[in-house]
Chain A
Amino acid sequence: MRRSRTLHWIAVHAVAVAAALFFVLPFLFVFLTSVMGDEQAMSGELWPTAWHWSNYATVFRTPGFLDWWRNSLLYAGLGTLFTVCSAVPVAYALARFRFRGRRTAMILVVSTMMLPPQVIVIPMYLVWAQQLHLSGTLWPLIIPMAFGDAYSVFLLRQFLLTIPREYTESARVDGCGELRTLLRIIVPMARPGIAAVALFQFFFCWNDYFGPQIYAAQNPASWTLSYGLESFKSAHNVNWNLTMAATLLVMAPVIVVFFFAQKAFVEGVTLTGVKG
């Protein structure tokens, strides 16, 4: 019995190590190439002969790179703020109020969630570009987030449903209005859900490529990191070392945020699936 358990342990952990190699080696190769010299980065060798940490400084000195950082932070920061503020009351109404058309509203929320963004982008682009003259900026991406992003509304509603009704009832008995109930009772209790939604939205904005490609492409001063990274390789004459350094710098913030907010994040992922 004990022997078969040991064998089982060895088998499981051997597979785990093999799997870990598949997930970790790409990061390692990207990192090792990011500190190679220009010549070596084109050779296909795996281990750097000399460690060129200055590659990272060179990336930061690339014209525009700091602007991309600022733009990504602006888009992700404001986008997240707007989304959370607008999604909370909508999700609350969908989770708590009884009214005619509630089911229809939920179906519409889920439908918009499923909709490929390419379906409606052309008329939207024409409005932002021709009527509002905002193409070449990130505002056409940020402003709509003040209007209850469907995915966030859906996730938050799922979370709010798990809060027992008794809390709101007793607040109402105490003469609390709905808005005060929401802000004083529900929002503090829903903090983990709100944190998960905020994280998802932050990552969505940070990772977004299609949006900036439509609205910011014409004006490099409005590019975000995700959009600008693609042009990096051609700007540096196929220098893989600098491109890999930039790639790691685009990944870094997301991974740092993850380590600080791991719990909220895993909570959010399970919220999307199993608890539905």
Chain B
Amino acid sequence: MVSTALAPPPGLRRKRNRERLRTLGFLSPWLAGFCVFFGYPLIATVYFSFMHYNQIQEPDFVGLRNWTYVLTQMPLLGPALGNTLWLVVVMVSLRVVFGLGIGMLVTRIRTGAGFFRTAFYLPYLAPPVAATVAFVFLLNPGTGPVDEILGAVGLPAPSWFNDPGWAKPSLVLLSLWGIGDLMVIFMAALLDVPKEQYEAAELDGAGAWGKFRYVTWPSITPVVLFAVVTGVVQTMQYYTQALVAGKLASGVSVGPGTVIQPGYPDHSTLTVPQLVYSLGFQNFNTGAACALSLVLFALAMAVTTLLMRRRAGLLPAED
């Protein structure tokens, strides 16, 4: 018995080794993918960030030159970071508030609940490019349906995607249209709140606000936190809608071979991921693009670490 405590008998060791092999076998697709499609490119990105490389000539070591260029000289870094931050703050908070509102509305609808739920949910499914094309049309300055209606009722009709001040709010509007994911999450959370607690609060004389503040809110905070965190992560990757809206609204013909710098109008829709694309695939400045993508990586990791620390429902405690 003493010997088992010191060294497991050969049979047990063999079993353990077999288990280890089995685990490795099951994990192997992901392990291989992780090394090839994540580990390698990450290391290569660091390598290229110290190189001058235009994808034709051999890479050439330039020390910190890409880094100083990206961080101190590149004129577009400010607007890109500013827009990404603006979107993270405004888009995420409005989406959470609106999603919660629609979720609460849906749980109160008695007649035609199925119809309303489907109607509220469907836009979320519209492919982002299609939804963006549709919104560029709807918000077309002057002749788009929205401006037609605003004009008919005597309201000022903004230029939406063509006005640097309105372009980001237009993107927010597009993101609110696709609120379906948050609606479902909030709806499920709201239905999970125990009914008796509302009745108890009512007996205590709580009004609508009191019931929300002291019954609903405490029980849905984890879901709100989850919505905020995933919203922030998604918004840091915000790319397709901003790029497509800018390209289409600019009216420049899009097609193979045409190079359109993203961010129209006036860099107001330029986000960090678009800037990485533009540097790497339009200007062929691989080194600077890699340095900037590492900045993006650091930002994303910071948010993710914060999220893991808070355990916003994403990574369950060890079970």
Q: Hey, which bits of chain A sit against chain B, CB under 8 A? A: 9, 12-13, 15-16, 19-20, 22-24, 26-27, 29-30, 33, 42-46, 86-87, 89-90, 92-94, 97, 99, 103, 105-112, 114-127, 144, 146-148, 150, 153, 161, 178, 203, 206-207, 209-210, 213-214, 217-218, 220, 225-227, 229-235, 238, 240, 243-244, 247-248, 250-251, 254-255, 258, 266, 269-270, 272-274, 276
A residues near B120, Cβ cutoff 8 Å: 19-20, 23
Contact of B256 among A220, A250, A273 (CB under 8 A): A220
7 A-B pairs closest in CB distance: A147-B33, A148-B30, A44-B143, A123-B44, A93-B26, A120-B41, A234-B253
Instruction: Check A226 against B129 for contact (C-beta < 8 Å).
Output: yes
Contact of A122 among B37, B230, B273, B289 (CB under 8 A): B289
Within residues 29 to 79 of chain B, which ones have a CB less than 8 A from any CB in chain A?
A: 29-30, 32-34, 36-38, 40-42, 44-45, 48, 55
Instruction: Check A42 against B308 for contact (C-beta < 8 Å).
Output: no
Instruction: Check B45 against A120 for contact (C-beta < 8 Å).
Output: yes
Instruction: Check B19 against A99 for contact (C-beta < 8 Å).
Output: yes
Contact of B254 among A45, A106, A230, A266 (CB under 8 A): A230
A residues near B128, Cβ cutoff 8 Å: 207, 209, 226
A55–B32 Cα distance when bound, in Å, is 48
Among listed B4-12, B87-95, B102-110, B164-172, interface-contacting one = B102-110
A27–B178 Cα distance when bound, in Å, is 12
Contact of B122 among A23, A124, A231, A266 (CB under 8 A): A23
Chain B interface, DSSP helix/strand/loop, else mixed: helix
Do A243 and B133 contact each other (CB < 8 Å), given the known contacts A233-B248, A234-B253? yes
Residue in A closest to B132 when the chains form the complex, CB atoms: A230
Q: Hey, which bits of chain B sit against chain A, CB under 8 A? A: 19-20, 22-23, 25-27, 29-30, 32-34, 36-38, 40-42, 44-45, 48, 55, 102, 105, 108-112, 116, 119-120, 122-123, 125-131, 133-135, 137-138, 140, 142-145, 147-149, 177, 181, 184-185, 188-189, 192, 223, 226-227, 230, 233, 236-237, 239-240, 243-244, 247-248, 251-256, 272-273, 276-277, 280-281, 286, 289-290, 293-294, 296-297, 300-301, 303-304, 307-308, 313-316, 318-319
Instruction: Check B290 against A122 for contact (C-beta < 8 Å).
Output: yes
Chain A interface, DSSP helix/strand/loop, else mixed: helix
